[in-house]
C-alpha cells in the first residue's frame, strides 16, 4: 500500500504496548470501525481486553514483531521504550507512525535535551554524565540543588536523585551503578504544564492548548484546562510544539511536558511520543480525543477538531484508593456530571494508574473542585 493513501475504516491498526493508552486508542479505533492488534510481553492486558488480537511476545523478539507488522496496515506504540531494532523490524513491513526518529529522541534524556538545545528550544542547563569526573565537573558548574536522572527508562520520578549538598552525591552515584545519566539544574517552576499536539501525514499540526498538571509524589494527580496564563504563554507553547513536531517529522500525537516559570516563560522538560495522561480529559471534553487524533494521524486522515466543549479537569485514580477495599463506586456513579474511565487492571498496587475521572464545568477552577470532591467520595463509606 502506498505510504500516502489514507488507511480507512476496516483496516487494522497494530499497537506495541498493551496498557491504558493502547486501550483508549483501541476503543477510539473500534468505534470508527478499525481492527486492533496488540503485541506485548503481558497477557490479559488493558488493551488486549478490547483488541481483536492480542499477541504475547517480547519486544526484542524480532520474528514475532515482523509477523505482527505483516498482519496490520500501520504500526504505532503506546510507550517510549520500543527498542530501535524492534522499530526497524516493524517499519520493514508496515508504516511505523510516529517514526523511529521521535522514538530515539524521546527514549534518551541526553538526546532529548540536546535536541531541545540544538533547536533553540528553552531548556534548563544540563550535562551528560558518563563518569564520576563528568558528575563532579557538572556539579561545579551547576552548583546545588541539581537533579540527577538516568538517561533511559525513568518515569514518574523513578531513577531520579535530587542533590542538595555534597553529602547527596556519593549515594546517588552509587545507586546509579554505572548507568548513563544527565545532571540538570533544579528548576524553581511555579506550575507544571503540558501541551498535547498532533501532526498529520500532510504536515498539518493541531494542539489542545495548555494543560496544567498537579503532581503528587512525582505522579500526575490532577490536570485542568484552560490554564490560568496570559495568551502569550499559550502562543509560546504552540510555537514550541510546532518546532518539535516539525523538526522530528512526527506523524501522530505527542505531549511536551514543560515548566512554567514565575515570569511566565516556559522550559521544556520532556517529550512523551504518544498520547499522555494529561490529555485524557480530551476524551470527554473535546470534539476529537487525543486517541482519535492519534488514529487519524497514523491513518493519514485529516486531523480532527480540537475544540473543548467546556473547561475540564481530570483526576487519576491510583491503586492507593483500593487499599481500604473496593472504592465506593455507588457513591461515584450517583454523580451524573462525572465521567468514569477504568482500565481493567486486575491488581491495584499503590501508585498504579487504575483509571481516571473527568468533569466539565463553567470554569477550570470549578472543574478541579468537583473532580477532587468526586474522587474523595470513593473513599467514603
Binding of ligand AMP at residue 269 (CB under 6 A)?
A: yes
Q: Which helix (H) or strand (E) holds 25?
A: helix 20-31
Binding of ligand AMP at residue 112 (CB under 6 A)?
A: no
Per-residue x/- mask for ligand AMP, residues 56 to 85, rule CB under 6 A?
Answer: ------------------------------
Distance of closest approach, residue 320 Cβ to ligand AMP, in angstroms: 18
Binding of ligand AMP at residue 157 (CB under 6 A)?
A: yes
The residue to which cell 491510583 is assigned: 318
Binding of ligand AMP at residue 184 (CB under 6 A)?
A: yes
Report the residue number, 257 or 284, with the smaller CB distance to ligand AMP.
Answer: 257
Residue from 147, 182, 245, 367 in contact with ligand AMP (CB under 6 A): 147
Distance of closest approach, residue 201 Cβ to ligand AMP, in angstroms: 29
The residue to which cell 506523524 is assigned: 251
Other residues' Cβ atoms within 10 Å of the Cβ of residue 76: 29
C-alpha distances in Å from residue 72, one per residue of 13, 44, 63, 323: 6, 21, 15, 40
Residue from 57, 187, 340, 348 in contact with ligand AMP (CB under 6 A): 187
- Give the separation between CA 311 and CA 126, rounded to whole angstroms: 36
Q: At what angle do helices 62-70 and 84-91 cross, to 10 degrees?
A: 30
Distance of closest approach, residue 81 Cβ to ligand AMP, in angstroms: 13
Q: At what angle do helices 169-176 and 132-142 cross, to 10 degrees?
A: 140
Distance of closest approach, residue 80 Cβ to ligand AMP, in angstroms: 11
Residue from 54, 73, 78, 257 in contact with ligand AMP (CB under 6 A): 257
Report the residue number, 22 or 159, with the smaller CB distance to ligand AMP.
Answer: 159
Residue from 192, 254, 315, 367 in contact with ligand AMP (CB under 6 A): 192
- Give the separation between CA 87 and CA 258, rounded to whole angstroms: 27
Burial class of 231 by CB neighbour count within 10 A (0 to 12, 13 to 18, 19+): exposed
Are 146 and 163 in contact, with CB atoms under 8 Å apart? yes
Report the residue number, 278 or 294, with the smaller CB distance to ligand AMP.
Answer: 278
Contacts with ligand AMP by CB under 6 A lie at 124, 147, 154, 157, 184, 186-187, 192, 215, 218, 257, 269-270
Amino acid at each position: 500500500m502506498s505510504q500516502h493513501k489514507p488507511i480507512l475504516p476496516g483496516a487494522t491498526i497494530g499497537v506495541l504496548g498493551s496498557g491504558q493508552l493502547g486501550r483508549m486508542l483501541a476503543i477510539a479505533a473500534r468505534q470508527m470501525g478499525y481492527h486492533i492488534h496488540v503485541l506485548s510481553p503481558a497477557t490479559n492486558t488493558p488493551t488486549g481486553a478490547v483488541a481483536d488480537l492480542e499477541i504475547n511476545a517480547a519486544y526484542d523478539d524480532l520474528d514475532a514483531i515482523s509477523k505482527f507488522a505483516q498482519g496490520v496496515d500501520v504500526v504505532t506504540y503506546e510507550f517510549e521504550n520500543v527498542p530501535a531494532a524492534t522499530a526497524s523490524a516493524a517499519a520493514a513491513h508496515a508504516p511505523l507512525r510516529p517514526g523511529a526518529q521521535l522514538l530515539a529522541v524521546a527514549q534518551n534524556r541526553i538526546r532529548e535535551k540536546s535536541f531541545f538545545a540544538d533547536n533553540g528550544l528553552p531548556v534548563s542547563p544540563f550535562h551528560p554524565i558518563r563518569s564520576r569526573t563528568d558528575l563532579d565537573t557538572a556539579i561545579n558548574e551547576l552548583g546545588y540543588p541539581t537533579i540527577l536522572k538516568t538517561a533511559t527508562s525513568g518515569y514518574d520520578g523513578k531513577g531520579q536523585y535530587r542533590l542538595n549538598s555534597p553529602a547527596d552525591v556519593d549515594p546517588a552515584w552509587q545507586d546509579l551503578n554505572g548507568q548513563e545519566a544527565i545532571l540538570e539544574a533544579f528548576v524553581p517552576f511555579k506550575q507544571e504544564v503540558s501541551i498535547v499536539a498532533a501532526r498529520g501525514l500532510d504536515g498539518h499540526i493541531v494542539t489542545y492548548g495548555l494543560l496544567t498538571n498537579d503532581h503528587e509524589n512525582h505522579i500526575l494527580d490532577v490536570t485542568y484546562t484552560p490554564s490560568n496564563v496570559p495568551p502569550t504563554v499559550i502562543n509560546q507553547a504552540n510555537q514550541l510544539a510546532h518546532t518539535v513536531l516539525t523538526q522530528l517529522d512526527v506523524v501522530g500525537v505527542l505531549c511536551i511536558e514543560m515548566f512554567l516559570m514565575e515570569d511566565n516563560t516556559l522550559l521544556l522538560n520532556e517529550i512523551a511520543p504518544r498520547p499522555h495522561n494529561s490529555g485524557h480529559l480530551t476524551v470527554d471534553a473535546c470534539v476529537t480525543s487525543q486517541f482519535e487524533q492519534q488514529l487519524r494521524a497514523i491513518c493519514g486522515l485529516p486531523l480532527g477538531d480540537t475544540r473543548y466543549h467546556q473547561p475540564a479537569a481530570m483526576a487519576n485514580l491510583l491503586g492507593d484508593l483500593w487499599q481500604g477495599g473496593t472504592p465506593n463506586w455507588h457513591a461515584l456513579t450517583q454523580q451524573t456530571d462525572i465521567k468514569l474511565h477504568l482500565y481493567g487492571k486486575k491488581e491495584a498496587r499503590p501508585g498504579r494508574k487504575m483509571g481516571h475521572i473527568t468533569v466539565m464545568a463553567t470554569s477550570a477552577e470549578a472543574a478541579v473542585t468537583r473532580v477532587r470532591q468526586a474522587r474523595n467520595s470513593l473513599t467514603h463509606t
